[in-house]
Amino acid sequence: MSSKLAVSALLFGGLLGVGCVTEGELDDQSSAEQEVLGPPSGLTLTPTATDRITVSWNAVPGALKYYVYQATAAAGPYSFRGTARAPATSLPVANLTPNTNYCFEVRTDDGTGPGAFSAPACSQGQSIAPAPTQVTATTSLTYATTVNVRWGAVSGASKYYVYRLDAATGTFTFYATSLTTAFDATHLTAGATYCFRIAAQTTPGITAQSATACNSSASGGVNLGAAGSFAILSKSGISTVPNSAITGDLGVSPSAASTITGFSLTADATNVFSTSTQVTGRVYAANYAPPTPANLTTSVGDMQLAFTDAASRAPNVTELGAGNIGGMNLAPGVYKWGTGLLIPTSVTLTGSATAVWIFQIAQDLTMSSGAQITLAGGALAKNIYWQVGAQTTLNTTAHLEGNVLSKTAITLAPGTSVNGRLLAQTAVTLNTSTIVKPAP
């Protein structure tokens, strides 16, 4: 019975013969007849971005609006997130935390108050792929101031962002964009260390940055110090079978001038240096007048430091050709052998004018007769270093480019030539040889 009929019956109870009802009975009947709408069904969640989910449900007849609640677990606790007014049956929820699980419940309101909660539905925003892996930063073997950065592909990535460590702030800042899994960082400072991280752009969003990969740019040249002022520098003597031709200074220390043979030396009036018709430059010995002895001591010390420096550089290539590089064309870089190195036929070094080659040889360096070192691409002899752990031998008519830093003797056969320097920690022997110190 409706409340209106009940009141009418009460007013005319005596006439109609209807019994009386109390006020409490009226309230009970009224509440029972105001039925609350049931909860929505068919709750679905559609991730639209890494931080967005659209909550949808089936329409409930009589509903004027719907309330959406959010939690991070099905059991709650839930907090109010928004209202959708009928006839809408969905609500986009934004500002979510990527890769985080979220649960939602919905309740209706027909104007008399909210109804019961729907069953929960759980999901997370579109997942962002993991950060790129297999990130490496390696020294370029082509250019002295380039680091090659490489990484593994990320599924669905449209491009990649390269970040570089800012040494001044200690933070990684955006450096470049790459459409592939490779990037070459150029125009770096030779010998400096650079660190990189990579992030991928995917449809859901940008991944986290990768692990850090660091490496030095291609090795800078070895600092020869005062030893670099000599074409030939030896600790125990320099001899020649005339006539050799040397462009640049000669020096021996701690040995005396008597260990310089075959040059027909002529002492200068000051006795600071000597000259020879075979030398376009000056000849110095440890027993000459000051400041020659002190200068030579410094030069020999620098020669030994340069040897150690060259030997300590991290190699890019090891044991190439099992110690035989005949016929090869070598890019810039640091090459290391735990054995001797044989050059039986000609070798080409190809690189720019700033490219550097360091050859670390644990035992002997031997060039066969007629073998040639040839430079290409603008490469310069001054940037080539042969660090030899034992003896260096150039056989008849062999030609070498670069600076030889030899732990023991350097021996040149007839007709040999060197565009570079011979820096020996024991003796240097020439035989109608031609030595030209490179331009600075």
- Determine whether 349 is exposed, middle or buried from the number of CB atoms within 10 Å of its CB (0-12, 13-18, 19+): buried
pLDDT of 34 reads 53
Contact 124, 101 (CB under 8 A): yes
DSSP result, 59-88: --TT--EEEEEEESSTT---EEEEEEETT-
Helix (H, G, I), strand (E, B) or coil at 349: strand
Print pLDDT tens along the chain (440 aa): 333 333 333 333 333 333 333 444 434 444 444 567 889 999 999 988 778 899 999 999 999 999 999 999 999 999 999 999 999 999 999 998 877 889 999 999 999 989 999 999 998 777 778 899 999 998 776 666 788 999 999 998 999 999 998 877 788 999 999 999 999 999 888 767 889 999 999 887 788 899 998 876 656 789 999 999 999 999 999 999 989 999 999 999 999 999 999 999 999 999 999 999 999 999 999 999 999 999 999 999 999 999 999 999 888 789 999 999 999 999 888 899 999 999 999 999 988 888 889 999 999 999 999 999 999 989 999 999 999 999 999 999 999 999 999 999 999 999 999 999 999 999 999 999 999 999 88
Burial 413-431 (b: 16+ CB within 10 A, else e): bebbbbbbbbbbbebbbbb
Contact 65, 37 (CB under 8 A): no
Residue 130, Cα to own-chain centre: how many angstroms?
A: 19
- Beta strand ranges found along 290-398 (DSSP E): 317-318, 329-330, 333-337, 341-343, 347-350, 357-361, 365-367, 373-376, 384-388, 392-394
Contact 108, 38 (CB under 8 A): yes
Q: CB atoms < 10 A from the CB of 379, how many?
A: 25
Looking at residue 206, the DSSP 8-state letter turns out to be B
Cα separation, 33 vs 60, whole angstroms: 19
Compute and round to an integer the Cα radius of gyration of the chain. 43
Handedness of CA 106, 109, 113, 116 (dihedral sign): negative
Placement of tokens 């600075």 in the chain = 440
Contacts of 7 (CB under 8 A, 6+ apart): 26
Contact 123, 102 (CB under 8 A): yes
Helix 23-33 to helix 3-11 angle, to the nearest 10 degrees? 160
Helix (H, G, I), strand (E, B) or coil at 294: helix
Name the token pair of 193. 């260390």
Q: Which domains does the chain have, with CATH numbers?
A: 3-33 (no CATH), 44-124 (2.60.40.10), 136-216 (2.60.40.10), 225-436 (no CATH)
Q: What is the dihedral of CA 76, 77, 83, 84, to 10 degrees?
A: 0
* Beta strands 274-276; 279-285: pairing state: antiparallel
Cα separation, 244 vs 240, whole angstroms: 7
Looking at residue 50, the DSSP 8-state letter turns out to be T
- Beta strand ranges found along 59-192 (DSSP E): 65-71, 79-85, 90-93, 101-109, 121-124, 136-139, 147-150, 159-166, 171-178, 182-185
Contacts of 168 (CB under 8 A, 6+ apart): none
pLDDT of 12 reads 33
Name the token pair of 431. 């035989």
Cα separation, 232 vs 252, whole angstroms: 9
262 backbone dihedrals φ, ψ, rounded to 5°: 85, 5
Q: What is the dihedral of CA 15, 16, 22, 26, to 10 degrees?
A: -130
Contacts of 31 (CB under 8 A, 6+ apart): none
